Structure 1
Amino acid sequence: MNGTVKTLMAAGVALVLTGCGTEEQETAGDVKTLEIAADVEYGKEDYKKIVNANNELGMELMAEVPADGDGNTFISPLSLYMALSMLYNGAAGETKAEIAEVLNASIPPEEMNKANASLMVMLADNSESVQLDIANSIWLNETYDFQQEFAESNRDYFNAKIEEIDVTDSESSDRINDWVSGRTNGMIDKMVPKPLDPNLVTILLNAIYFKGEWTEPFEEKNTEDRPFRLHNGESVDVPLMTAKRYWDYMETDQFQAAILPYGDREAGMYVFLPKTGSSLEEFEAGLTPENWKSWRQQFDYREGTLSIPKFELEYGVLLNDALKTLGMETAFMDSNLSGMLEGGGGTISEVKQKTALKVDEKGTEAAAATSITVPTEGSAEGPFTMTVDRPFFLAIEDTETRTLLFMGSIADPVSK
């Protein structure tokens, strides 16, 4: 095998949608009941407005994100798409237009919300063999307030849990990280730093967890260490799982491909192997929505022997540069989020994603978390120095009531 296969993660959702953002169970292992409140309106097929757009974003992103030290890349287009869709509700002006460009769907937030709700319902089917879970949350600095429409839209259509936090309290980091860990079955446990940035206004989070058992498991007795050729020509021994049976398979002059189904074929892992003489880079260059659609139609049910690695990996990436390349050119410098916060303010400082993947004889476990961080305006300019060595003004305020208790001008602080 030439290089390391980079896999697009297909993920789904199991959740409770209610008109008032009813609290979800916090354990990823729980299968949740789907309930749609009467006031959450959407069309059954609205999801069709964004499925291709989500897939296109994934393919575009693959061309922009860097590989880790081992040459691996593993992303969740759906996790990023969902997080950006939530942010879309609070954007205005050029920022709104840029987010729409990245989302590959020039539709108003109202239609985007309905499309996401429809997609989540379509993906909400869990079985004994395939578990799909998605969760959204928004964490707000307690000194700020959201615009009512922004909060309601994200509660109603994304079932987003909205929590106020004290950004100066170290336990706030633990609360956020515990939420991510709980929603990803412990696969991702540290999403935000401790302590939080004191300039933080809000963090929008999406978490996805997938666990699928192979339709036909691999037998452990057929797993053995075999050489795996790296992109630099060197080889390492890895455990390869092997099975001879009928697979959905296709082959071209450039690659071989097979589909490994989960459960009752509710999901599948597509594996593409560039042929000797070709390369992973060449395959990626041809990874377009048009080619993907064509390839999916060319699989035949054929008998064969398939060997794939048994492995685990973790991947993390800051997506700012990739998103700038894809169209969000000014959003990280001068965001217009006037539809998000009371009184306006705030700008996007970073969009980050972490993923994890485990593949073994029984099946696949995968998780992703995407965070969008919004600090106060200007905080992204770097550290500052403030030396109070001349006359100054001060005020003492009661935080809860915002009552000014004392104020004054200090021209000479040396007591006489």
Structure 2
Amino acid sequence: MKSINKEYKEGDNFMIKKGIIITVVILMAACVFSACARKAKTPSAVTSIEQKENKGSQQESNSLTENTVQNVCIDYQIESYKNVQKFGYMLFAQHINDKNPVISPVSAYLALSMAGCGANGATKEEFYNVLGNDMLPLSDDMMNRLPTTGDWMNLSIANSAWIDNKFVADATWLGTVKSLMDAEVFQDELSTEQTMDKINRWINDKTNGLIDTMITQPLDIQTRLVLFNTVYFKGKWELPFESQNTRKEDFYIQKGQGTANQVEMMNLYLTELEYIANDCMEGVILPYQKNDINNDGTLAFIALKPTGEETIRDIYSKLTDEVISDLLAKGQTEIVNLKLPKFEVTFDKKLNESLINIGLTECFEEQKANFDQLGKTINNDTLYIDLVRQKAKIIVDEEGTEAAAATEVLMMDRGAMLISDPREVYFNEPFIYMIMDMQTDVPLFLGILDNPNTETK
């Protein structure tokens, strides 16, 4: 097994020896997404790569037959999302010292759940300890609630499994990932340039062209299984920033020091916003426009900064799911003058060591990993996870709609009448931000902005 301490670099090939590769790809374009339900799907047969691209062809393919995929249904009632919340905060804490870090806890959770439902024995127990023994109900619920398409936002989540011809996937596992996670499943020889191109085209399509190349060399000849999760979203602020109010202003890179960078700073004036605070931090909640005005689901951008002399890393060390829930519960509507920088961040990281540090260890060990519920190779070789990688891109700007802009004007007018001394909340220093599902307090995306002028990779 390769050393987990080797840092991933842009353009590195996915190399694996008799193992599993799990790759998580997250793309955020603009700043918004919402929730809606989807209809349950009946799983179809596993598709060969050629069959997928040549529908209607009479050419014999190496895809599995319809009868080899079992439809999987589970009955459940979600009582708590704490396992997703805790997983997200623990995982992000492993990258707290990176520059401009951002991760998607939800995307990592979904990708790992695809692998976890094929684990057995002590390996399965580790997945339960880290993700919770309700990882399948939670994954199914998120796949049902989150995707949406409409005038204000588009959010798509896609999963896929790429299976080598020398691996025979378990029918129950296939049915689980297809029924509960809508995974597309392909089977072919994985170590060819043709397969590399097909994978890159699949990712390019699912991310709307924002990631056009993920793999730069053919996979190793002993690669047996590759799992992908992609998230793409684009949407509108409910209260958009007026572009004429964006100007060059100071952003202080280090708290308490005079050095500042000039950044594009967006401004909202005399606007009704939900203000949140406790004894060491303060922030605001910026809601996103919903596609369905009758949908109670709400997604919001949350920004937090220190109120005292502590650094943003000090503040994050105090964040837990309970602290966030308490902050949100005590939020109050106030008239606010807000400054928020425009920024674009790309974050591309290998997560193996981070996951080992929070309790997933055996799955990375060639001699200990137990994934016998995934299936078996023709030589009965043992599978283990060789790589978990996540790539995220976030773009935050003024983008909005006419309807939302009209709402902002009305609020500005009301604010001017209600209060003459608005609260000033200026994010002109490093701050924590989240894209939050306000129904469940689950952070869909979680990051720290250290420097708006740096596109970190």
Please give the range of the TM-score, normalised by the shorter of the 2 chains.
0.7 to 0.9
Structure 1 21/156 Cα, relative in aligned 2: closer, same or farther at 3 Å? farther
* Partner SS for 1:116: helix
Equivalent position of 2:115 in the other structure: 87
Structure 1 81/9 Cα, relative in aligned 2: closer, same or farther at 3 Å? farther
Equivalent position of 1:235 in the other structure: 260
Equivalent position of 1:180 in the other structure: 203
Structure 1 341/193 Cα, relative in aligned 2: closer, same or farther at 3 Å? farther
Q: Tell me the CA shift for residue 349 of structure 1.
A: 0.7
Structure 1 48/84 Cα, relative in aligned 2: closer, same or farther at 3 Å? farther
Equivalent position of 2:145 in the other structure: 122
Equivalent position of 1:287 in the other structure: 319
Task: State the distance in 1 between where 2:287 and 2:32 align.
Answer: 14
Equivalent position of 2:345 in the other structure: 313
Match runs of 1:361-376 below 5 Å: 361-362=398-399
Q: TM-score, normalised by structure 2?
A: 0.68
* Partner SS for 1:118: helix
Task: State the distance in 2 between where 1:9 and 1:321 align.
Answer: 30
Task: State the distance in 1 between where 2:228 and 2:78 align.
Answer: 21
The aligned amino acid for 1:345 is T
Q: Tell me the CA shift for residue 236 of structure 1.
A: 1.1
* Partner SS for 2:315: helix
Equivalent position of 2:293 in the other structure: none
On the 8 A contact 1:261/1:269 being kept in 2, the answer is yes
Task: State the distance in 2 between where 1:78 and 1:58 align.
Answer: 7
Q: Over residues 212-243 of structure 1, what are the superposed CA-to-partner deviations in whole Å (9 max), with x where a residue is unaligned? A: 20012110000001111113843211101001
Judge which range, 86-95 or 259-268, deviates more. Answer: 259-268
Equivalent position of 2:11 in the other structure: none
Equivalent position of 1:338 in the other structure: 372
Structure 1 counterpart of 2:391, from 337, 354, 361: 354
How much identity, in percent, do the aligned residues show?
Answer: 27
Equivalent position of 1:257 in the other structure: 283
On the 8 A contact 1:12/1:208 being kept in 2, the answer is no
* Partner SS for 1:313: strand
Structure 1 91/42 Cα, relative in aligned 2: closer, same or farther at 3 Å? closer
Which protein shows a greater Rg?
1
**2:84 matches 1:54:** yes
Q: How many aligned positions are there?
A: 338
Match runs of 1:174-253 below 5 Å: 174-231=197-254, 233=257, 234-244=259-269, 245-253=271-279
Structure 1 138/67 Cα, relative in aligned 2: closer, same or farther at 3 Å? farther
Task: State the distance in 2 between where 1:56 and 1:331 align.
Answer: 20
Match runs of 1:66-85 below 5 Å: 67-68=97-98, 71-85=99-113
The aligned amino acid for 2:95 is V
The aligned amino acid for 1:346 is L
Structure 2 counterpart of 1:273, from 289, 305, 314: 305
The aligned amino acid for 1:268 is A
* Partner SS for 2:375: coil
On the 8 A contact 2:264/2:341 being kept in 1, the answer is yes
Structure 1 221/64 Cα, relative in aligned 2: closer, same or farther at 3 Å? same
Structure 1 46/10 Cα, relative in aligned 2: closer, same or farther at 3 Å? farther
Task: State the distance in 2 between where 1:231 and 1:22 align.
Answer: 55
Segments of structure 1 that go 5 or more residues without pairing to the other structure are 1-7, 27-38, 370-416
Structure 1 355/98 Cα, relative in aligned 2: closer, same or farther at 3 Å? same
* Partner SS for 2:384: coil
Task: State the distance in 2 between where 1:226 and 1:169 align.
Answer: 51
On the 8 A contact 2:278/2:327 being kept in 1, the answer is no
Q: Tell me the CA shift for residue 125 of structure 1.
A: 4.3
Q: Tell me the CA shift for residue 20 of structure 1.
A: 1.3
Structure 2 counterpart of 1:132, from 155, 173, 178: 155
Q: Tell me the CA shift for residue 186 of structure 1.
A: 2.4
Structure 1 346/41 Cα, relative in aligned 2: closer, same or farther at 3 Å? closer
Task: State the distance in 2 between where 1:10 and 1:294 align.
Answer: 23
Q: Over residues 22-63 of structure 1, what are the superposed CA-to-partner deviations in whole Å (9 max), with x where a residue is unaligned? A: 89xx9xxxxxxxxxxxx65344x63445x2211111101111
Equivalent position of 1:97 in the other structure: 125
The aligned amino acid for 1:357 is I
Q: TM-score, normalised by structure 1?
A: 0.74
The aligned amino acid for 1:194 is Q
* Partner SS for 1:200: coil
Equivalent position of 1:298 in the other structure: 330
